[in-house]
């Protein structure tokens, strides 16, 4: 199957700092029921500033945030320029206030549309012995 699909944004990043705020739109707010029981969440967001023909056409990059990284395919790194500008980050959930999530460690920009939120489950989401290329040892965690 090839082609396109439809993504519905469920909210947006309201502010970014040490503590960031994610606003979930009212119609999706009921989906936050019991989310406060988790310490961490996986946030999928749209990299809206890269949603253009030029950035969507990028298939290889030299990851600039990792010193000494080689030319790499976008599916082998976390470049924001890619065919579908989808970002993913794990955040610490600091609080829930109605339809707003206070989080720490958000790797997204203010105004970034939120695609989805999933609970972080250490039992299934963490693989401490996973193999990675040496160049990923330097630079930021994401």
Domain that holds residue 66: 52-80
User: Can you give the pLDDT of all 142 residues of the chain as single tens digits?
Assistant: 688 899 999 999 999 999 999 999 999 999 999 999 999 999 999 999 999 999 999 999 998 888 889 999 999 999 999 999 999 999 999 999 999 999 999 999 999 999 999 999 999 999 989 998 988 887 776 6
**Displacement of CA 106 from its chain's centroid (Å):** 8
Residues 66 and 93 occupy one common structural domain: no
Residues 68 and 117 occupy one common structural domain: no
Residues 53-71, buried b or exposed e (16+ Cβ, 10 A)?
eebeeeeebebeebeebee
Residues 17 and 37 occupy one common structural domain: yes
Total domain count, the chain = 2
pLDDT number for residue 142: 64
pLDDT number for residue 136: 86
Residues 39 and 63 occupy one common structural domain: no
**Does residue 90 belong to any structural domain of this protein?**
yes
List the CATH number of the domain containing 24.
2.40.30.70
**Does residue 127 belong to any structural domain of this protein?**
no
Nearest of 87, 101, 98 to residue 19 by alpha carbon: 101
pLDDT number for residue 40: 98
The Cα 120–Cα 102 span in angstroms is 16
pLDDT number for residue 66: 84
Residues 115 and 7 sit within 8 Å (Cβ to Cβ):
yes
């Amino acid at each position: 199957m090839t082609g396109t699909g439809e993504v519905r944004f469920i909210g947006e990043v309201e502010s970014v700092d040490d503590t960031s705020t994610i606003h979930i739109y009212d119609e999706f707010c009921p989906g936050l029921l019991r989310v406060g029981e988790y310490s961490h969440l996986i946030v999928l967001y749209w990299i809206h500033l890269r949603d253009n023909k030029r950035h969507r056409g990028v298939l290889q990059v030299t990851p600039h945030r990792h010193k000494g990284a080689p030319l790499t395919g976008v599916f082998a790194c976390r470049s924001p320029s890619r065919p579908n500008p989808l970002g993913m980050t794990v955040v610490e959930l600091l609080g829930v206030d109605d339809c707003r999530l206070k989080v720490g460690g958000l790797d997204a920009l203010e105004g970034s549309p939120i695609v989805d939120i999933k609970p972080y489950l250490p039992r299934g989401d963490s693989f401490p012995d996973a193999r990675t290329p040496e160049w990923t040892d330097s630079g930021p965690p994401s």
